[in-house]
Amino acid sequence: MMAVQSKRYTVEEFDELVMLPENADKLLEYVGGEIVEVVSNNYSSKIAMRIGARLVLFVEEKGLGHVTGADGGYKVLGER
């Protein structure tokens, strides 16, 4: 999640901010007085896991290396 503002908001201020037209397409949450934008949703997470599962099976079957999540870190190597 990404913080939208570092200012502390009341629940009422959050409700008003969420209703603004410029925020209509954003998924915003109120967490401990801060407003955070949710960058994903359940549907996209489900699709990502289905793709990831198939990718892991393919990579392991072919002996191509390993698969990690987005935070796994990568080192790109030249041609073998």
Tell me phi and psi for residue 14, to 5 degrees: -60, -50
Q: What count of other Cβ atoms lies within 10 Å of the Cβ of residue 35?
A: 21
Chain centroid to Cα 38, Å, comes to 7
Query: Which of 23, 16, 12 lies closest to 4, judged by CA?
Result: 23
- Find all residues with CB under 8 Å of 15, minimum gap 6, and list them: none
The mean pLDDT value for 58-80 works out to 81
* Res 56: pLDDT: 95
Mean pLDDT for 42-59 is 92
Identify which has the larger pLDDT, 57 or 40.
57
